[in-house]
């Protein structure tokens, strides 16, 4: 993957496939360290599967026996001196909570760190394919914060305008592309 934003899209597609209704994508740049967290309320993984998920020979796909998403994401993080961790739980009979959280850290001043790239395209692509998803996207840096919540968007758009209407996707692209800290103006 040439961009970290492509990994974000790829890992988020796992969430969608796991039946997630809620997806949080959090990016935080602090000094030379970028943390990317992708958290969902999907079906979750068993402890054994989660432990093995970063191995290419572990996969749920049926078209072939390898799955490269998490292994590539881990490699992208580790080659900068960073790490990737997976926390996951299948539905807990006690409280019913389930889901997966993948967190990776990158040292962005490392020569092998891929650029974040076109994160706006990743968010637009996710909404295009999954207009019902409750998606929260946050990008935080010293300069400020960009925050997008599809639940907030839905309140303003009403029930008749789907989140993947072309006009809405165009707005999302422009909104997410703005540098953080720009006053959202309401």
Chain residues that interact with another protein, rule: CB under 8 A: 1, 6, 9-10, 13, 17, 61, 63-64, 67-69, 72, 118, 121-122, 124-125, 128-129, 152-153, 156-158, 160-162, 165-169, 171, 174-175, 178, 182-186
CA dihedral 151, 153, 156, 162 (to 10 degrees): -100
Rounded least distance, CB 44 to another protein, Å? 19
Beta pairing class for 144-149 and 134-141: antiparallel
Please tell me the total number of residues recorded for the chain in this structure: 186
CB of residue 67 vs another protein: minimum separation in angstroms?
7
Query: Cβ 3 to another protein, closest distance in Å?
Result: 9
Instruction: Between 105 and 146, name the residue whose CB sits nearer to another protein.
Output: 146
75: alpha, beta or left? (left if phi > 0; alpha if psi -120 to 50): alpha
- Whether the CB-CB separation of 121 and 2 falls below 8 Å is answered with no
CB of 110 to another protein, least distance (A): 21
């Amino acid at each position: 993957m040439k961009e970290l934003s492509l990994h974000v899209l790829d890992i988020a597609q796992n969430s969608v496939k796991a039946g997630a209704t809620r997806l949080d994508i959090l990016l935080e740049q602090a000094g030379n360290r970028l943390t990317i967290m992708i958290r969902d309320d999907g079906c979750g993984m068993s402890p054994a599967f989660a432990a093995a998920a970063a191995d290419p020979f572990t996969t749920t796909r049926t078209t072939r026996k390898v799955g490269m998403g998490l292994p590539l994401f881990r490699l992208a993080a580790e080659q900068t001196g960073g790490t990737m961790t997976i926390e996951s739980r299948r539905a807990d009979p006690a409280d019913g909570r389930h889901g997966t959280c993948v967190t990776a850290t990158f040292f962005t001043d490392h020569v092998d760190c891929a650029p974040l790239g076109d994160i706006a395209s990743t968010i637009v692509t996710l909404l295009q394919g999954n207009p019902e998803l409750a998606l929260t996207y946050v990008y935080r840096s010293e300069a400020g914060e960009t925050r997008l919540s599809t639940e907030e968007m839905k309140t303003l758009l009403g029930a008749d305008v789907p989140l993947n209407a072309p006009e809405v996707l165009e707005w999302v692209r422009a909104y997410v592309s703005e540098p953080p800290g720009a006053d959202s103006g309401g």
